[in-house]
Amino acid sequence: MAKNYATDYKGVDLLAVAAAREVNDGDVVFAGTGLPMLAILLAQVNHAPNAVCIYEAGTVDGRALDLPTSVGDSRCAWQASIAAGLTETFYGQLHCGYVDLGFLGGAEIDKYGNVNTTVVGDYSAPSKRFTGSGGNPDINSYAKRTVFIMVQEKRRFKEHVDYITSPGWRIPKWPSGEYVHRREVYGKFYQGGPSAVITNMGVFRFDDEGIMYLDTVHPGFTAEQVKDNCLFDLNISRCKGETERPTVEEIDLLYKRVDPEGIFLP
């Protein structure tokens, strides 16, 4: 049966739908507050009913009746298989290797998928501070795949981020600080790494060298426009075409089942 694609949707809807499509049925997913929640919840009510959602504040596989506004929300604990704490989620779930997919955000990203959520400028004398790392680097360092959901702006897609909060594919090996492939830093602890970046303009993936390329461009944009919105030289030669549009059913689920109160959606 041909899919019934929506003609009227907002940028944020496509972002949530494209992110949800990264979830395979049965995946164990670690999700942060905001769009990541929409993505995992949409996947669960649509194509991945056996996906398990972990929120870092302490709940495993909750079945919230109402959308949580943060990962610490009481709503996360409803019908959870485990409601414990951070030791369970970070060490009992993540560090022990259960997590397939992490959904994260970021303020700045570079072509290797290194993400900054800490400061603008030199860390020793910053001009601005963001929230800080939170669990972003932890999830990103131990989930088998990580998907970043971000706003596409030229100043956010940089050659080098001001501070590596969260590790991409080429990262410093301390104490020397020499940049090496992620496998070299993690060794036998290696689990995986960033697999996609989804913005309001396109979907990006990483090649064998760990360098970001444009995979699909969202309807209404061109690959060149996306390239123009990056400070680094984005590889657009592998672009497969347009990102699949949301279906009428997906938009319906998003607005009626996942976020009927309009908490994260407009």
Partner 1 sequence: MGKPQRLTLKEAVGLINDGDFLTFSGFTIWRRPVAFCYEMVRQGKKDLHLFEVNGGTHTEILAGAGCVKLWESCWVGHELYGKLGEAVARGQVEGTIIVEDYSHAQCVARILAGAYGLPFMPTALSMGTDILNPKFDNFKKAGLRDGSDPKIPLKKYDIIHDSLYDKGEILLMPAVNADWAIIYASQVGDEGTVRMFAHSYVDAETIKAADKVIVIAEEMVPDSYLRQEPDRNIAAGHAIDYVVVQPWAAHPTGSQYFYDVDADFIRNFYQASKSKESYDKWAQEWIFGVADHEEYVEKLGVNRLTKLKANSVLGYSTSVKRGTR
Chain residues 141-160 in contact with partner 1, contact rule CB under 8 A: 141-142
Kindly state the smallest distance separating residue 59's Cβ from partner 1, in Å: 6
Provide the 3-class DSSP secondary structure of residue 54. Answer: strand
Rounded Cα gap, residues 231 and 157, in angstroms: 6
- Nearer to partner 1 by Cβ, of 182 and 245: the residue is 182
**Tokens read off for 79:** 């019908």
Binding of partner 1 at residue 9 (CB under 8 A)?
no
Per CB under 8 A, the segment of 8-16, 161-169, 201-209, 213-221 that binds partner 1 is 161-169
Q: Which of residues 24-63 bind partner 1 (CB under 8 A)?
A: 33-34, 56-59
Q: Is 62 left (phi over 0), alpha (psi -120 to 50) or beta?
A: beta
Rounded Cα gap, residues 46 and 152, in angstroms: 27
Q: Which of residues 208-247 bind partner 1 (CB under 8 A)?
A: none
Q: Which of residues 101-140 bind partner 1 (CB under 8 A)?
A: 118-119, 123-124, 126-138
- Nearer to partner 1 by Cβ, of 138 and 250: the residue is 138
- Nearer to partner 1 by Cβ, of 40 and 234: the residue is 40
Q: Which of residues 168-207 bind partner 1 (CB under 8 A)?
A: 171-175, 177, 182, 185-189
Kindly state the smallest distance separating residue 234's Cβ from partner 1, in Å: 23
Buried b (16+ CB within 10 A) or exposed e, 28-42: bbbbbbbbbbbbbbb
Rounded Cα gap, residues 55 and 58, in angstroms: 6
33, 41, 38, 31: which is closest to 15 by C-alpha?
38
Kindly state the smallest distance separating residue 40's Cβ from partner 1, in Å: 17
Q: Which of residues 67-96 bind partner 1 (CB under 8 A)?
A: 69-78, 83-87, 90-91, 94-95
Beta bridge partners of 103: 31, 147
Rounded Cα gap, residues 87 and 217, in angstroms: 39
CB 207 within 8 A of CB 216: no
Kindly state the smallest distance separating residue 68's Cβ from partner 1, in Å: 9
Active-site choice (56, 88, 108, 250)? 56
- Nearer to partner 1 by Cβ, of 165 and 216: the residue is 165
Kindly state the smallest distance separating residue 83's Cβ from partner 1, in Å: 4
**Tokens read off for 190:** 């290696």
Q: Is 184 a catalytic residue?
A: no
Provide the 3-class DSSP secondary structure of residue 188. Answer: helix
The residues assigned a catalytic role are 56
